[in-house]
Structure 1
Amino acid sequence: MKIVIIGGTGLIGSKTAERLRRQGHEVIAAAPNTGVNTITGEGLAEALTGASVVIDLANSPSFEDKAVLDFFEISGRNLMAAEKAAAVKHHIALSIIGVDRLPESGYMRAKVAQEKIIRGAGIPYTIVHSTQFMEFLGGIAQSGTIGNTVRLSPAYVQPIASDDVADNVAAAATAAPINGVIEISGPERVRLNELVARYLKAMGDGREVEADTEARYFGARLEDGSLVSDNDPRLGHITFEQWFATSARR
């Protein structure tokens, strides 16, 4: 089966491609650096020729409100039109648990717009809603840093390792479309400020982490349950300690 991964050279894309190739599938890692651009349309029709499944893992190069909305809307419309022309049978997109609960965030609004395009395109689909990746803990710490202090929300998170995300995306690609949402989470629920404090301590980073209920996450104020699911998500098996021991210091 031919599977095209949009954003196939990124963190999740490269790991998903590896898994699917091991299963014997023909995988095209599509990205601007491989000659496929969903914004301009360059190389898109050629890449999708003969494809049964398309996995959209692309992300906006800018998180500014208008830029990120433009990216997901233009990319989404171009991609769905190209998939219709190529008679693609299954579209898969990676999105975020809690995406519809945080309208203050321009990034979350853009992901909601992306999902709306997918649902209205008439192509069978599966949307994978994931919690935050463990690999982004350093960036989250940096986003809340002022001087030597990191101010972060004490809302709950349930972070997932990228290997567990790739396992679930690859599984969705070889299953039938559900025309709905699959939710995936890490195995441990913890408060965001406490998890980042653990991460920084393990890294030997001397910054102090303080809980701040007004601290913003991608521009939005969080409630306790904003970023987690109580709807029996599929759980990854990699704990924070296991992930840190094998991946974090790379």
Structure 2
Amino acid sequence: MRASVKTILALAALSLVGTAQAQQPQQPPRPAPFLDADEQVDTLKLVPPPPAAGTPDEAADQAAFRDTRKLADGPRWAQAVRHVELYTPAAFDGWSCPTGVKISAETTPATVELMVRTLFDAGRATNPAKEHYKRPRPFTGQTAPTCVPPESLGTNASYPSGHASVGWAWALILAELKPERADAILQRGHAFGESRVVCGVHYPSDVEAGRIVAAAVVARLHADAEFNAAMATAKAELAKAPAAEACGE
């Protein structure tokens, strides 16, 4: 029997993309991604190495980190903090205004389940490159502010950005489901990735690489029959979902 969306969200909250799972005894397995391990895209063939030390691209990355520290505690910083969420109800509700409908476990359970499952597909696809390049996070050796505690990221590497991959994958999927709202949806997906730079936990090149991974994952997902069936169900659901309310980030 399929687990309820609320159960799926509870299980998903036990994991972070690219980080160690919370230690909970006798927990059921987390929601299954659509793609098996042997079906994953080869991200090491997709993304180039991160900018090398001393190159103009690396200097631009460092400059972006320094410049975005000026945004601390401002409106864009607050938005970036909201974009940290991947598993809570707020993570899904945040896409309501761009899509024009209320997205939640109660109003659009099939859409939320689709998002949770693709979260794992898009997020874990960044892991091979992360583990290969082991790029340090921008805040390493710094005392500048970040919008999440650095220790919460553990030893998880910077390149590519898992959050940016998830956010862009969601944007591509939702734009396909609601093509009449594609501009607003893709705008949010882009801002979602940029928020990782604002937060000080990724460089711009990390985010760009994450988007490349996301595009490849979504393309691969379209060859999966189960994913396509889930897309059809979500599209029908969104067509009947209640309108979004109180929009504005």
TM-score, structure 1 length as denominator? 0.28
- Per residue, is there more helix in 1 or in 2? 2
- Per residue, is there more strand in 1 or in 2? 1
TM-score, structure 2 length as denominator? 0.28
Higher relative contact order (CA 8 A, sep 6+): 2
